[in-house]
Amino acid sequence: MSEKSETVEGVNMLIADTVWYFAYGSNMRSFIMVNRGIKPLEQALVKIPTYVLTFKIFGMPYSEPSMASIANMSHVDVNTVLRRGSPAPLPPIHGIAYLITRADYVTLVKSEDGGSACRDIALEADVFRHAEPDSGTMGPKLTVFTLEAKYPFRPNATPSQRYIVSVY
């Protein structure tokens, strides 16, 4: 890894041949990456204890009302996330960390939105030792890069049924 660094949207990224990308929402589906021409070199099941899944990116009315994003738990309140029933704590976001080339990361950012609605952020992710997130055994930590909405839509819109099915 080179010792040089660059700033992308305010995040100081080490210049390296590869980066860990944190995929959440529909990007966890491997065929999404394949369809974009991205070939992960490795992958790991991870969680980011300080962030939650939100639906705060404007979509297309009726067909795709919102797209997934993430938010720091300290910034989430009743005006951020639509909630029903008693206010139970939101679970931390789980996803897949893909080790990809820097060129593939640039391709991914361009395919998402080219940086117009999202910004790059660096986060610390906990790696699960086993394939089951409920196993409770955590491995090493990874620095992952991902995208977060620049202009959050509040309160969050409801995702489409198609989107929910594709994620879950």
Q: Please identify every residue annotated as catalytic.
A: 112
Question: What is the chain's Cα-based Rg?
Answer: 16
Given the structure tokens 């999202």, which residue do they identify? 118
- 51 marked as part of a ligand binding site: no
The pair of three-digit structure tokens given for residue 82, joined into one six-digit string: 């639509």
- 23 marked as part of a ligand binding site: yes
- 163 marked as part of a ligand binding site: yes
Contact 119, 9 (CB under 8 A): yes
List, as own/partner pairs, every contact residues 107-112 make where C-beta atoms lie below 8 angstroms and the sequence separation is at least 24, other chains included: 107/36, 107/37, 107/38, 108/21, 108/33, 108/36, 108/38, 109/147, 111/36, 112/147
From the centroid of its chain, how far is CA 12?
18
Q: What ranges make up the beta strands (E) of 102-157? A: 118-128, 138-149
- 151 marked as part of a ligand binding site: no
Given the structure tokens 């639906």, which residue do they identify? 55
- 24 marked as part of a ligand binding site: yes
Tell whether omega for the bond before 155 is within 30 degrees of 0, i.e. cis.
yes
Question: Which residue ranges are tagged as binding site?
Answer: 21-26, 163
Question: Which residue ranges are tagged as binding site for substrate?
Answer: 21-26, 163
